[in-house]
Amino acid sequence: MKLLFRQRFFSWLDSYDIYDENGNTVYTVEGKFGWGHRLHILDASGRHIATLKERIFHFLPTFELYVGEQYVGCIKKEFTLFRPRFTVECAGWDVEGDFFGWDYTITAPGGVRVASVYKELFRFTDTYVIDVCEPQSALLALLVVLAIDAEKCSNND
């Protein structure tokens, strides 16, 4: 299953549209005012299904994950020198980026690939392709990509 993650061109806050392989809108992401990044994920019918909130005052970026209104865990950036790395507490996933921080591989325990993420270059807005192995992992993989993009935005990458 592939998802196309595209940031909206004209938006005061972080806003994204997520499409499937056929160009159908699967999710919409709306940024909210507040300290740190706060993103609400809506399904195709406009119903709120998840939230990503940045924890402020942390040495390394940390993002809380909510499905509905229930806290399910967090995504934490790890200290590394050359390749960005994140951990997803609630799933036990590891996320490792390439040297430039544009392409990522998400793996489950035992090194099983969950998803691959790559950034499309030469676009006016941030555009990522998320190739998810199992459709039930799509929402959590999207939350990981949103956290990576928010962290890059905070660091002006």
**SS3 at position 57:** coil
Residue 137 is predicted with a pLDDT of 94
3-state secondary structure of 7: strand
Strand ranges in the chain using DSSP code E only, listed in sequence order: 2-7, 15-19, 25-31, 38-43, 48-55, 62-67, 70-77, 85-88, 93-97, 103-108, 112-119, 127-132
Spatial separation of the C-alpha atoms in residues 16 and 77, rounded to whole Å = 22
The pLDDT value given to residue 128: 87
Question: Which structural domain range is residue 119 located in?
Answer: 2-154
pLDDT at 117: 95
- How many CA atoms, within 13 angstroms, populate the side-chain half-sphere of residue 106? 26
Each of the 157 residues of the chain gets a pLDDT tens digit; together they read: 999 988 766 555 678 899 999 999 999 999 887 677 899 999 999 999 999 999 888 788 899 999 999 999 999 999 998 899 999 988 999 999 998 888 999 999 999 999 999 988 776 777 889 999 999 999 999 999 889 888 877 665 5
DSSP H helices in 27-154: 138-154
Give the count of domains, the chain. 1
CA dist 157 and 150 (Å) reads 10
Q: What is the CATH number of the domain that holds 90?
A: 2.40.160.200
Q: Find out whether 147 and 52 touch, Cβ atoms under 8 Å.
A: yes
The DSSP code for 3 is E
CA–CA separation, 121 vs 136, rounded Å?
28
Amino acid 12: pLDDT: 54
Question: Does the predicted model carry a pTM greater than 0.85?
Answer: yes
The pLDDT of residue 10: 54
